[in-house]
Structure 1
């Protein structure tokens, strides 16, 4: 039952947009086998969320055959931009009166839910030897302001899978 609740919360609060990718067409991506995180990474996330996305990234890349190394072929840099998304759901209340030749009306809206936070998360893959950007993926995640740790973890897992699932270019 708990797994179903987490899944539903993930669907409700963890909706992701389509991942956008860009890359250097002259790069041979088959040479990259090891990774580590960029030494001066400043993700813009709080420590808990940064840890969640780093763990999900490590797990995903290991599943694709990459090995974490102190002397990597490529660095992973993650950063985010976040903004509040206003909620447009409300209940309208109105009072009206009218007659021949005149009328009075009052109305208002009461919000049903609170605003949510949208995070645009960018993954940069950098050639460690050249210090050059070789691949970039961007996606968004929407989180309710009261999202549970489990829902946040699931949302970040989906972002990592959606974005890094498009690496290397040309493979599905």
Structure 2
């Protein structure tokens, strides 16, 4: 029983922060050796955060042997969507009896206002074939954001986002 509860909790935690990807299975990913950032990128980030994200992407792709270029094989487009997810918490109260021939039960929930909403950001990375101007891979990751985070914490957060998303690139074909 205890093992089952632990397994359910781990599955729920794992599903909260997953990377979602989609790609064109007909694409030969090994043909992309150079990259650049989409010229008309509107990331939705402020300039400081956009620099943090692009620097993290550039550093990661360079470690994989790719080269930043003015005439790239692929463009990287980054965009974000910010939203607030309601934070709900309550305490349940129950009264009941379970005799041999029946049962009676009453229950209710009392909301506990710990905090109002949790700020979240969905970060999307589109990889676009520069020659054909076609999307061939997309990675999406949702992260909780703190508005009062230090510059170092923001840099670490975006570095983690880039690492998680690009851990799925190139896709492992089955």
TM-score, length-scaled by structure 1: 0.75
The equivalent of 2:127 in structure 1 is 125
Alpha carbons of structure 1 residues 86 and 150: separation in structure 2 relative to 1, 3 Å? farther
Aligned residues: 142
How far has the Cα of 1:155 moved from its partner? Answer: 1.1
Once the two structures are superposed, what CA deviation does each residue of 1:72-126 show, in whole Å capped at 9, x if it has no partner? 00000000111012333589xxxxxxxxxxxxxxxx8664346332111110000
Structure 2 regions of 5+ residues with no counterpart?
A: 1-15, 92-109
Distance 1:131 1:73, change over 3 A: same
List 4+ stretches of structure 1 deviating above 4 A.
none
Counterpart in 2 of 1:150? 152
Unmatched runs of 5 consecutive residues or more in structure 1: 1-15, 92-107
Q: Counterparts of 2:140 and 2:44 in 1: how far apart (Å)?
A: 15
Where does 1:10-159 land on structure 2 (aligned, <5 Å)? 17-88=17-88, 111-113=113-115, 115-159=117-161
User: Residues of 2 paired with 1:155 and 1:85: CA distance?
Assistant: 19
TM, length-normalised to structure 2: 0.74
Q: Which has the higher contact order (CA 8 A, sep 6+)?
A: 1
Q: Secondary structure at the match of 1:27?
A: coil
Instruction: Write the distance in 1 (CA, Å) between the matches of 2:139 and 2:41.
Output: 16
